[in-house]
Amino acid sequence: MKRVTSILFAIAMAAVVISACQTETEQTYETRWAGETMEEILANIESQFGGFSQAMKEVNYRYNELYWAGMDENWGYAEYQLDKLLDATLKGFERRPDREASAAQFVNTSTPRLMETIEAGDKEAFVESFDRYAASCNTCHEMEDVAFIQVIVPEKRTTLVRF
């Protein structure tokens, strides 16, 4: 009985020590910039994400990486970049669904065709397919009334990745 009492006492002391170590501290967050009401907060946070132009920043990066991956015949990296480029585009549609119709040919036709070329691992075919891919970008830009944004095949290597 004395041993059971000692064990219970040890358990009770351990519980006291553990609970003493777990003090609750109230966390405060600086959110005045976001607004006062839930509607204001959500609207302001959404504004911070930006529209489709934010997605296009990532698409631009991925497009350049994709091109140079193909030129290096680094097909795994090219496939990775095309997947990420498509993902960034689709996330842009979540924020700006009206853009999706203009990009349908890009998403549903041009991207899968370029992926097939990458999977085939043929550099000459990649170069031809990439030219068509760039044209597909420009078709979307024309449909969105931003034809002044003309996508070209990259001329200068900026990527640090080499294969």
Q: Is residue 105 part of a domain?
A: yes
Report the CATH number at residue 89.
1.20.120
Q: Is residue 118 part of a domain?
A: yes
Share of the chain above pLDDT 90, in %: 61
Write the Ramachandran bin of 52: left for phi over 0, alpha for psi from -120 to 50, otherwise beta.
Answer: alpha
Q: Is residue 24 part of a domain?
A: no
Is the model's pLDDT at 6 over the cut of 60?
no
pLDDT tens-digit series, residues 57-101: 999 999 999 999 999 999 999 999 999 999 999 999 998 899 999
Q: Is residue 65 part of a domain?
A: yes
Q: Is residue 93 part of a domain?
A: yes
CA distance linking residue 85 with residue 108, whole number of Å: 13
Closest listed residue to residue 70, CA positions, set 14, 128, 21: 128
Q: Is residue 120 part of a domain?
A: yes
pTM: 0.74
Q: Is residue 113 part of a domain?
A: yes
Band of residue 11 on the pLDDT scale cut at 50, 70, 90 = low
pLDDT tens-digit series, residues 102-119: 999 999 999 999 999 999
Share of the chain above pLDDT 70, in %: 81
Tokens matching residue 54: 């934010």
What's the total number of domains in the chain? 1
Q: Is residue 163 part of a domain?
A: no
- Structural domain boundaries enclosing 102: 52-143
- The segment with the largest mean pLDDT, out of 14-18, 25-29, 34-38, 132-136, is 132-136
CA distance linking residue 30 with residue 34, whole number of Å: 9
